[in-house]
Copies of this chain bind each other. A is one copy, B any other.
């Protein structure tokens, strides 16, 4: 298993990214391809085992606040070079903690999207009871969704939940402002109708915000505007409570670590011709390590073809 890692992206790049990659590469059968400024990487690495690690130089970096248009000028940006390695089959997957927009754009232009997918959705994992996480999809790629896109999100999410999370006949819900079928804005009402009528989906109807943590669904579908705001609000509440708990008790309780994205692994971009794992910008070594293991699962379980097979079923339907 060879994974290309954009070591220049992220709040704690390159040190924490490289540390996570090295820890991962120590596992049997794992080989990390570190993509970034060679001199900096060598300095961080010290003595490394060339059997476990390769360095590929990339002179440019896309900063978090840069427009994705920067990719057009920065052909040698680390995220572009790392994604190209997947396209060329030099690497099995790519992982980045840098700009999600730049990673998405690299995946679209270098790997390519599936037929019929306009803009691939971004997936996030919401903690649930007894470790039963729920996938929230889309959390930001598609802020103005069409109902048909939300049906595609459901199918892509279903195949990921089945292949990688091991969920049998994944349960799908629609994020809405009430549980009744009559609830929702115009988009949610139309999406409900499409989801309900799609036979390959195990759709249980609307899910309210407060039910996201109940573990009742494997996949919750929403438009990218709502999903992005909800995900960031939850993250904000986690940080707020963490600070308050430190004042109150002197420490952050263990359960809050589930909402500390510096310790949580990544999720793949769905709908694209390769495995590209998005990690949170504030990922530290453990999150990178965990994200790389997720990447392995995605490759081993062949999520690219799983998704394409699932999409064929709704196209035929």
Nearest-CB residue, chain B, relative to A259 = B237
A39 at the interface (CB under 8 A from B): no
A1 at the interface (CB under 8 A from B): no
DSSP class of A's interface residues: helix, strand, loop or mixed? helix
A224, B177: Cβ atoms under 8 Å? yes
B255, A241: Cβ atoms under 8 Å? yes
Task: Name the B residues within 8 Å of A237 (CB-CB).
Answer: 212-213, 234, 237-238, 259
B235, A210: Cβ atoms under 8 Å? yes
Q: Mark A88-118, 1 if CB is under 8 A from B, else 0.
A: 0000000000000000000000000000000
A245 at the interface (CB under 8 A from B): yes
A232, B245: Cβ atoms under 8 Å? no
Taking CB atoms and an 8 Å cut-off, the chain A residues in 38-85 that contact chain B are none
A210, B239: Cβ atoms under 8 Å? yes
Choose among B129, B143, B214 the residue that contacts A184 (Cβ–Cβ < 8 A).
B143
Choose among B129, B210, B236, B245 the residue that contacts A209 (Cβ–Cβ < 8 A).
B236
Please report the C-alpha to C-alpha distance between residue A177 and residue B100 in the assembled complex, in whole angstroms. Answer: 13
A297 at the interface (CB under 8 A from B): no
Please report the C-alpha to C-alpha distance between residue A54 and residue B120 in the assembled complex, in whole angstroms. Answer: 61
Chain A residues bordering chain B, tally (CB within 8 A)? 49
A233, B235: Cβ atoms under 8 Å? no
Q: Mark A221-257, 1 if CB is under 8 A from B, else 0.
A: 0111110111111111111110011001100011110
Choose among B127, B184, B225, B256 the residue that contacts A185 (Cβ–Cβ < 8 A).
B225
CB distance from A141 to the nearest CB of B (A): 10
Number of copies: 2
A140 at the interface (CB under 8 A from B): yes
A156 at the interface (CB under 8 A from B): no
A188 at the interface (CB under 8 A from B): yes
Taking CB atoms and an 8 Å cut-off, the chain A residues in 143-159 that contact chain B are 143-144
Please report the C-alpha to C-alpha distance between residue A184 and residue B140 in the assembled complex, in whole angstroms. Answer: 10
Task: Name the B residues within 8 Å of A241 (CB-CB).
Answer: 241, 255-256
A208 at the interface (CB under 8 A from B): yes
B225, A177: Cβ atoms under 8 Å? yes
Please report the C-alpha to C-alpha distance between residue A237 and residue B212 in the assembled complex, in whole angstroms. Answer: 8
Please report the C-alpha to C-alpha distance between residue A245 and residue B258 in the assembled complex, in whole angstroms. Answer: 13
A309 at the interface (CB under 8 A from B): no
Nearest-CB residue, chain B, relative to A243 = B129
A-B contact pairs, 21 of them (CB 8 A): A140-B177, A143-B183, A176-B229, A177-B224, A177-B228, A184-B225, A185-B223, A209-B229, A209-B232, A209-B236, A210-B233, A211-B236, A213-B236, A213-B237, A222-B229, A230-B233, A233-B234, A234-B237, A241-B241, A241-B256, A248-B255
**4 other contacts beyond A185-B223, A210-B239, with CB at 8 A cut-off?**
A208-B229, A212-B233, A214-B236, A234-B237
